[in-house]
C-alpha cells in the first residue's frame, strides 16, 4: 500500500465515518493538534533517561498517554452516531481518574507551589512545559469544535488533566535536576 492516495489533493480529508471535510475544518484542527501534542510527548520521551527511576516512570506513563491520544484522535474523527462510531473506544471517567492518580504520584514529591512558575529549567522540564502548552491548545480547539458539533466530555476532561500532569512533571524534572522553580516576577509600576 502506498503512503499517498491523492484523495486530499483537493484540500479535503476523510473522516473515519467516510465523510469528507475541508482540511481546515474545526474537527481536523482539533485532532490534528492532538496529533501534534502526541509528537511533542514523543519529544519529551526522547529526553528521558531509562537509568533514572523518575524518568523511567515518565516513559511508562507516556506510553499509555500516547495510546490514549490516538483514541482521542479517533474519537474526534468519528462523532458519536456516525458510521463506524461503534468501533471507537471513547475516553471515560476511568481514564481521567488514571491521570489524576499520576498527578498525585508525580506532584507528591514536589515542593509546595508558592508562586506562578516560569516554563523553564532543565531540558526535560522545558520540553514538558512545551507539551503542556500544545495540550492546552488542543483542548481549546476541542472546546471550539464542541460549540459547533458534539464533542465527548471524557476527552475534554482527559486533556485538561494531562496539562496538569505535565506541569507537575516539569516541576518534578526540575526538582530532580536540582533546579528550583523559577517564579514569575511581575513588572513594577
Tell me the per-residue pLDDT of 48-103, one tens digit each, with 9 for 90 and over. Answer: 999 999 999 999 999 999 999 999 999 998 887 777 777 888 999 999 999 999 99
In a domain, 187, yes or no: no
Angle between helices 153-176 and 53-77 (to 10 degrees): 160
Residue 22 to residue 71: CA distance in whole angstroms: 22
In a domain, 90, yes or no: yes
State the pLDDT at residue 79. 80
Residue 102, all three cell numbers: 499520576
The tally of domains found in the chain comes to 1
Residues 153-161 have a mean pLDDT of: 97
Q: Is the pLDDT of residue 189 over 80?
A: yes
Selection from 64, 62, 72 nearest residue 31 by Cα:
72
State the pLDDT at residue 174. 96
Residue 102: alpha-carbon gap to chain centroid: 14
Q: What is the CATH number of the domain that holds 60?
A: 1.20.1200.10
State the pLDDT at residue 50. 95
In a domain, 1, yes or no: no
In a domain, 23, yes or no: no
In a domain, 69, yes or no: yes
Tell me the per-residue pLDDT of 12-63, one tens digit each, with 9 for 90 and over. Answer: 777 777 788 878 889 999 999 999 999 999 999 999 999 999 999 999 999 9
Q: Is the pLDDT of residue 155 over 90?
A: yes
Query: What's the mean per-residue pLDDT of the chain?
Result: 93
In a domain, 22, yes or no: no
In a domain, 18, yes or no: no
The residue range of the domain holding 81 is 29-107+120-176
In a domain, 44, yes or no: yes
Amino acid at each position: 500500500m502506498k503512503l499517498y492516495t491523492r484523495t486530499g489533493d483537493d484540500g479535503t480529508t476523510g473522516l473515519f465515518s467516510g465523510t469528507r471535510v475541508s482540511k481546515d475544518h474545526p474537527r481536523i484542527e482539533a485532532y490534528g493538534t492532538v496529533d501534534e501534542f502526541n509528537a511533542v510527548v514523543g519529544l519529551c520521551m526522547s529526553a528521558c533517561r531509562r537509568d533514572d527511576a523518575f524518568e523511567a516512570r515518565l516513559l511508562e506513563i507516556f506510553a499509555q498517554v500516547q495510546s490514549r491520544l490516538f483514541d482521542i484522535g479517533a474519537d474526534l474523527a468519528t462523532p458519536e452516531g456516525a458510521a463506524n462510531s461503534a468501533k471507537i473506544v471513547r475516553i471515560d471517567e476511568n481514564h481521567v481518574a488514571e491521570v489524576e492518580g499520576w498527578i498525585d504520584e508525580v506532584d507528591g514529591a514536589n515542593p509546595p507551589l508558592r508562586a506562578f512558575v516560569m516554563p523553564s529549567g532543565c531540558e526535560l522540564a522545558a520540553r514538558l512545559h512545551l507539551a503542556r502548552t500544545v495540550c492546552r491548545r488542543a483542548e481549546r480547539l476541542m472546546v471550539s469544535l464542541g460549540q459547533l458539533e458534539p464533542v465527548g466530555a471524557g476527552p475534554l476532561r482527559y486533556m485538561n488533566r494531562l496539562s496538569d500532569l505535565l506541569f507537575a512533571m516539569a516541576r518534578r524534572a526540575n526538582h530532580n535536576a536540582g533546579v528550583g522553580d523559577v517564579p514569575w516576577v511581575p513588572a513594577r509600576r
